[in-house]
A and B are shown apart, each in its own frame.
Chain A
Amino acid sequence: MDILSLFIVAPIITVAALLFAKNLKQSRVISLIGSLVQFAMAINLIFAYLAERATGNTAIMVFTKSAVWFKSLNIRYDVGADGITVFMIVLASIVVLAGVFISWKIKDLPKEFFISLIVLATGVYGFFISLDLFLLFLFFEVAVIPMYLLIGIWGSGPKEKSAMKLTIMLMGASALLLVGILGLYFYSSPDGAYTFNILEIAKVNIPAQVQHYLFPVVFIGFAVIGALFPFHTWSPSGHASAPTAVSMLHAGVLMKLGGYGVFRVAMYLLPIGAMEWSWFFIILSVIGVVYGALAAIKQTDLKYINAYSSVSHLGLVLFALLMLNKTSWNGAILQSLSHGFMTALFFALIGMIYERSHTRDVRELGGLLKVIPFISVIYVIAGLASLGLPGFSGFVAEMTIFVGAFQNVDMFHRVATILGVTVIVITAVYILRAVGMMLMGPVKKEEYYNFPKATWYEKTGIFLLLIPIIIIGTTPLWISDIIMDSIKPFIERML
């Protein structure tokens, strides 16, 4: 078994084992073992990848594995990884592991909860390692569908509506994606030897006319899950209704599929289309960035604040990708990682606060720093990371993005960049506002004094997410070197 296929096999075995679990205790132990194994595999993958590159393997994708699946249509099981994939997998495995810890005390139907969670993880891993568009599409949908059950069964508030909205919007996006993938397939060869393989298609020059039509289709197909304005509306309501662990996975991992897909499929395979259309999508992404941040200012529900902040931060990812230069691409990947850990941490903390206070309204909370100091301090740290304080991942990522974006000298890009930069200020406003209302000041209610301290599983979950934020923030160079290395084929193709 090759090192990448294990990422599909291990979760499937976990799910199979979970089917026999009888109660909460067994289910969480099985999922913990499963996600610990995946976590170990992911960490191992970094070293294996570095070792592989050190041996002088300069192929675009390493650890490739190829097997025929549907011979007549040339659908293959093709997997492979580059530096970007490796980091995405690490991100996913950490968030899943933290998610299991955070869901330690899930009450209703625990077995089913963990099964859905792990199925979602399988979809995400499969998506990241797929080199075959059919496989990629399949895993995309596998990752989306469990969200319906996760939000619908274990969520809160208008959960049925939010779950339905999220599923239908994402599946509608995959409708576009399907058309795009079929278009790529049928233009992948002039003589009828069609292929779904990304690396093979990249060798073919798809006519510019075709790229012109195909690019927006594929781009929007992926960008909806990356919360592109105006297709972001599924995200805030989905976050707000989802249970804690699901919000974490949703924002931390699932929304990353969008940026990754845009980069790997839409831009890599349709470079001419990307150059032609970039101005249009830059406008949308800048609107998303600013609008998301402004909307976050007005929210009073903690989850909505972070949901809109996600729209804003992920808009920045798309913005950076569309800036079409290597520095900003590097920043986009860093931002994906940084936002993944940060938002997951935010949602974990919000979940903890909600569990104690049973409200997520910042106006009702107050003085939490006095009653639950540990959680509050971490919240402040996460907030500072989010608004881009040096030393944390957010700073590195946003800095790289804007430095990259500023390298485009023409008027349009300059204006877009300047508008984009304003988000740094706006972010500070909504983060500090929430911190101020919620953590500072007098303790609003008497019962807040009875809040239990953070438990061991909560702390474990928190540290799992906090450590990577600090690692990216303090030692970004080795990470961005690996990313830079993997961006090379993109540079060759587009710049």
Chain B
Amino acid sequence: MNLEMFLKMQNELLLVVLLLAVLVGEIITSQKGKSKLINFTIIAFAIVTLIGFFHQPDGALFGGMFHTNSLIQLLKNGLNVGVLIILMQSAGWLKETLVKQNKSAEFFLLMFSSLIGLNFMISAGDFLMFYVALELSTLPVAALVAYNAYKRQSAEAGIKLILSATLASGLALFGISFLYGTTGAIYFDDMANLLQMSNLTILGLVFFFAGLSFKVSLVPFHFWTADVYEGAPINVTSYLSVISKGAAVFILTFILFNVFKAFSDIWKPMLYTVAIATMFVGNLFALRQQNLKRFLAFSSVAQAGFMLLGIINGGVLGAASVVYFVLVYMFSNLGAFGVVQAISHKTGKENMDDYNGLYRTNPMLSMVMMLGLFSLAGIPPVAGFFGKFFLFTAAAGKGYYILVFIAVVNATISLYYYLKVIRAMFLRQSENPIPYFKNDIFMKLGLATAAAGILILGLYSPLYEYVQSISNLIFN
């Protein structure tokens, strides 16, 4: 191990250092110092995030088990920024609720562990590393989901997540074992060369895909989503819906494009069907949700369906549109979730009807929410429009016009329910609206970052150009 090798996994190592620092900090600080520890951790994590943006060497480590390049680094930076926004949005909640219960530091420990897992997962060069990282990223989240220990729903959600996650990784592992059995290889590169089309390998692909579909919450593997999202604390929900989903979509793209390159005739029809099912189920179930967390859960199921339109392209354009959309989606969803978090923390209200007349009392929050929802719905000029347009372009580029049409129809359906929230906030008035309240500085920063991302990511084209220029790196 020399310095250069360290640099290649700098992000992971820095996170581990930070994690240990928080652990030590937790031990040595008194009860009064806890809220300072929270500030310290968020600022330290911001610094870690910032470091990630400086150039880092590409290449592989440990004989190819771990590899990194600009595209992967970009995604890692994206995940870091996302987690940073989530942490900023949760600062108030941590200080006011969790410090009393004496488990504020553990929140960071668990979230960082999971983030490290995701980092390793997208950097994985073989199935073993992939699997270990997948587990590392999932298990801490199960604990986080059940964090509201005195809420029955939260505990239930934790159990649901752990059960479905176990089943999912079991399925994936089962699939991997088939692939390993036929090729004798565990590395992605070797396997790509050795894989022959046979019933066994196709079965392997299907099981593997099913396993990962749980993580991305594609239909028909989405059943855990709504209950878990509703039961979990909101910041954990946003973590699940944005960070962990984004990373999973990326690794799914990576493995389909590389390991199963020769199988595209198999997985393209598969994605086609799953994409349609996912969009319709996500959207139609979202229509009638009253609870905003459930609502955003189904909306995020539908969004995952849209992402498949990029993957189905199978080329550089597809990879670029998926990565770009994941980044856009992250900011959009975090904008929306941030507002739900702020309001739920101050007032405990999470239902759509509670938002009636919100604009008249809290205009700034409503504006951020509107930006986030418009971006999710794909309304110009915010980033979501560009993200969706490029996804559709990617799919249409390979002649999937019918699929694009179905997707755009779904985008229109989704507009209906996003507008329902806008309707509550702007159009309606309420007898007892949510009163005006002030947010703490971290919350404001978190919302402002998300809003800035939503506005800039689309209109400022060099960002997409950059993603596009490095997207050929997805082919190993």
Which residues from chain A sit less than 8 Å from chain B, CB to CB? Answer: 69-73, 75, 134, 138-139, 141-142, 145, 148-149, 152-153, 159-160, 163-164, 167-168, 171-172, 175-176, 178-179, 182-183, 185-186
Contacts and interface: CB of A to CB of B under 8 A. Distances in A.
Interface in B418-476: 419, 422-423, 426-428, 461, 464-465, 468-469
Contact of B405 (A134, A164, A179): A179
Contacts of A168: 412, 415-416
Nearest to A139: B380
Interface in B338-396: 374, 379-381, 385, 389-390, 392-393, 396
B464 A70 contact: yes
Contacts of B374: 145
A182 B422 contact: no
Contacts of B308: none
A182 B415 CA distance: 21
B411 interface: yes
Given A71-B465, A141-B380, 5 more contacts: A69-B461, A70-B464, A139-B380, A175-B411, A179-B401
A164 B405 CA distance: 21
Contacts of A142: 380-381
Given A134-B389, A167-B419, A172 B396 contact: no
B408 A175 contact: yes
Contacts of A176: 405, 408
A139 B379 CA distance: 10
- 10 A-B pairs closest in CB distance: A175-B408, A182-B396, A152-B427, A138-B380, A72-B468, A172-B412, A70-B461, A179-B405, A171-B412, A141-B380
11 contacts: A70-B464, A70-B465, A72-B465, A138-B385, A149-B422, A153-B426, A171-B412, A175-B405, A178-B404, A179-B408, A182-B404
B128 interface: no
Contact of A141 (B385, B409, B416): B385
Contacts of B426: 149, 152-153
Contacts of A183: 396, 401
A160 B412 contact: no
Contacts of A73: 390, 393
A172 B416 CA distance: 11
Contact of B393 (A138, A148, A152, A185): A185
Given A73-B390, A142-B381, A164 B423 contact: yes
B59 interface: no
A179 B381 contact: no
Contacts of B385: 138, 141
Highest count of chain B CB atoms <10 Å: which of A71, A153, A175: A175
A74 to B, nearest CB: 11
Contacts of B397: 186
Contacts of B411: 171, 175
A156 to B, nearest CB: 13
A182 B465 contact: no
A182 B423 contact: no
A186 B397 CA distance: 7
Contacts of B392: 178, 182
B401 A182 contact: yes
A133 to B, nearest CB: 11
Interface residues of A, dominant DSSP: helix
Contacts of B416: 164, 168
Nearest to A163: B427
Contacts of A159: 427
B433 to A, nearest CB: 15
Contacts of A153: 426-427
Nearest to A170: B412
A70 B468 CA distance: 10
A360 B222 CA distance: 51
A17 B294 CA distance: 38
Contacts of B428: 160
A182 B380 contact: no
Contacts of A152: 423, 426-427
Contacts of A178: 389, 392, 404, 408
A172 B377 CA distance: 13
A444 B476 CA distance: 82
Given A168-B415, A175-B405, A182-B401, A160 B465 contact: no
A145 B384 CA distance: 15
A99 B416 CA distance: 28
A152 B320 CA distance: 38
A160 B401 contact: no
Interface in B135-181: none
Contacts of B380: 138-139, 141-142
A185 B394 CA distance: 12
A370 to B, nearest CB: 39
B427 A182 contact: no
A145 B404 contact: no
Given A153-B426, A164-B423, A175-B405, A182 B412 contact: no
A229 B468 CA distance: 42
A264 B380 CA distance: 22
Nearest to A145: B379
Nearest to B427: A152
A148 B425 CA distance: 13
A160 B422 CA distance: 11
A92 to B, nearest CB: 19
A183 to B, nearest CB: 6
B411 to A, nearest CB: 7
Contact of A160 (B409, B427, B464, B469): B427
A71, A72, A139 — most chain B CB neighbours (10 Å): A72
Contacts of A141: 379-380, 385
A70 B389 CA distance: 12
A164 B426 CA distance: 13
B410 to A, nearest CB: 9
A139 B380 CA distance: 8
B471 to A, nearest CB: 9
Contact of A172 (B320, B409, B461, B465): B409
A179 B404 contact: yes
A73 B405 CA distance: 20
B422 A148 contact: yes
Contacts of B401: 179, 182-183
Contacts of B464: 70, 72
A224 to B, nearest CB: 12
Contacts of B389: 134, 178
Contacts of A69: 461
Contacts of B408: 175-176, 178-179
A145 B385 CA distance: 13
A70 B428 CA distance: 39
Nearest to B411: A175
A142 B320 CA distance: 25
A142 B459 CA distance: 14
B11 to A, nearest CB: 27
Contacts of B320: 72
B125 to A, nearest CB: 28
B397 to A, nearest CB: 6
Nearest to A183: B401
Nearest to B370: A149
A153 B379 CA distance: 19
Nearest to B467: A72
B29 to A, nearest CB: 43
